[in-house]
Every structure is written in structure tokens, then in C-alpha cells.
Amino acid sequence: MDNHSIDVEKDVKSLIKESVFDKKYTDFEDQFHNLAKDISTILELDELDAKVYLRLLKTGPNTASAVAKELDIDRAKMYRTVDKMAKIGIVSMTLSSPKLCIPLPPEEVSKIIIQKKEDSINTIKKSWKGTIQKIEKYTTSNFRSNIPTFRVINGRENIFLNIEHMIENSSDVVYIITTLEDISKMYHSNIPDKISICEKSGGQVRLLVDLNDPKLSSFVIRFGATETRISKSSLKGRIVLEKGKQMIMSDTKSNEGEQINAKSDFSLYTDSPAMVNNVQNLCEHLWAESKPIKMMDANDFKKEPQSTTFMMEPEYKQIFNLKEAKQENIILNSLLKELEDIVSD
């Protein structure tokens, strides 16, 4: 089992074992629903399945009808849910009358879920390898294009998969410039594992993050970047750039108070040399102006507004004269406009 799988297993254990009187939630019902939602997200279960499992962990072995009554669920629906959970392997049934539902310990559940995911991935790899060989026999041309490509990636899961692929196959410098909130989401993906693969290939991942609380430094370091630095200005959006090759970039939120969910998250991908090189200039400048996280003390976390001016192509020079907090939004709009011009031509 790889390090990331172990981290996920630890997260699953800690989430499921949280006390129902945790101070994180103001009352019992809020905590129950939020904890069930966390379990549902990590284990990729229906929220009802997570609620039933969590309730069984608290009450111990119980009948399906009793749990249905506690959760105010239709009994027929409850029986279907229990049958499904038994097939998954997270609940077992006694042979007594009436039958009792017994939840598996959190440690066993995490192992079952992770093993199924690994088996599924291995099956896809084996099947696709044979399919590739068939495609190569079927197609006679080896088409390659030097035309820059542009595409929008929809959904956080797809965005993270593209980031993982970029990092895994890189042997050069990859910049990740983003927020602490985004890093907390990436931490539960396969991105940390891909960083290790990149480093073994001679590459390095440079993480630049917006952080104003020194107590969270250890969490950021655990992400596993080759080097981590703290931005001197507020960062918004997300830039992931492989030096001289490609980048994935997200716009800032149009409404800072709006919480973008996983499905509505989107990013722009391009391998346009002109765009990549100009945004790379920004990354290198922000990196040079930042300070390594391991060299910082509490006083360094007090932010002051910064402005940026440095030499680059005339059409982009005006962009970088603005405050850093607004740069990413303006740059992305500029890139999108350039894309529209290319398409219209």
C-alpha cells in the first residue's frame, strides 16, 4: 500500500472515530449529518449508507427496522440499503431472528474500500494496455500536431487527474501556486504521491501558498512539495505550470464568499508556448519574492500589499504592474481573449 493510501486510511479512521460530542458541531444533529457527509465523501458512499453505518457504530448491532425508525427512513428503503452495504462488505448480518446488522470496524472498512479501488485501477490498466495495441494496429497514421491546444477542464476530480498526470510525467520544475484551502483538497488526491515520482525522475515541485497562520505550516509541509514558500501577497485561484511546456490555470472566484463545489470547479489548460512562458515569468517572479517556509517565523506571516514590475513582452507588461492579488484574474481573461481571437481567425 502506498503512502497516500495509508494517509487516506488514517483520515478515514480518524473521521469515523470522532466523538459525537466533538466541539466542531454545535449540536448532536449537526455533527451527525456533517460526520456522515465526511464519511460519504471519503469512502464514496451514498450519504444514507454513511448515516446508517455511523448510527450502527454508535448504537452497536441493531435491527434494520430499529435503525429505520431512529433515522426516520422508510423500512423498505432501509432493507435495500442494508442489503447493499452487506454486498459492499461494510455491514454483516446475523442468522438470528430478528436479524441484526453489525458494522465492520472503521479499520476494516478503510482496507476494503482501498483494496477495491486498487483492484479497479489495476483492471483498467490491464484492459487499456490491450486496447492501445488494437488502436495502434487499426490506425495507420502517427498524427502529431504542433498547434497549441486549449481546453476547459470541468470538475475538481478531472482537474486533479490532469495535475497528477502533469506532475508524474515531468522531469523539470513544476510550479503549484494556490491557496491553503486548495492544498487541503489536493492533499486527499494522488498529487502528493505523484510529487515523489516526479522527484525520482529528476524533477521538482515548487509550492507557493498563501498562509497567514504559522500553526498551519506543518500541514503545508506534509503536502510533500520539493520546496515550499509563502507568498507575500494574497493568492486566489490556482496555477499549476510545468516549466516551458504546459499549464492548468483557474480564475479567481467572481464572488469571494461563494463556495465552489467539486463539480462546478473548472480550469483552463493550454500548452501554448507564448502563454506558458508569460505565466512562467509570473511564477518565477513570485517565487523569487517569497520566503522558504522553513526559514519563516511568526512575524513573517504579517502580510503587506505588494506590487510587481519586471521586464516582459509589451502586451503583457501592463498586467504585471497591477497588485499581485488581481493578477491571476486579469491574466486568465487575457488568455481567454487570445484564445477567442485564435478561434475566430
Cβ pair 327, 308 in contact under 8 A: yes
What are the DSSP E strand ranges found in 25-111? 91-93, 101-103
CATH number of 3-108: 1.10.10.10
Which CA distances in Å does 222 have to 7, 31, 227?
11, 27, 11
Note the Cα 161 to chain centre separation in Å: 9
Give the C-alpha separation, 284 to 247, whole Å.
14
Cβ pair 208, 229 in contact under 8 A: yes
Cis peptide before 314 (omega within 30 of 0): no
| CATH superfamily, domain at 150-344 | Endonuclease Chain A (3.30.870.10)
Does the structure show a pLDDT above 70 at 45?
yes
pTM above 0.95, yes or no: no
List, for residues 152-191, the tens digit of each pLDDT value. Answer: 998 888 999 999 999 999 999 999 999 888 888 898 889 9
Q: Within the chain, which residue ranges are assigned CATH 1.10.10.10?
A: 3-108
Task: Tell me how crowded residue 142 is: count the other CB atoms within 10 A of its CB.
Answer: 6
Cβ pair 208, 231 in contact under 8 A: yes
Q: Within the chain, which residue ranges are assigned CATH 3.30.870.10?
A: 150-344
Which CA distances in Å does 166 have to 88, 138, 207, 284?
33, 28, 15, 18
List, for residues 296-306, the tens digit of each pLDDT value. Answer: 554 554 444 44
Give the model's pLDDT for residue 125: 83
List, for residues 271-311, the tens digit of each pLDDT value. Answer: 999 999 999 999 999 999 888 886 555 455 444 444 333 34
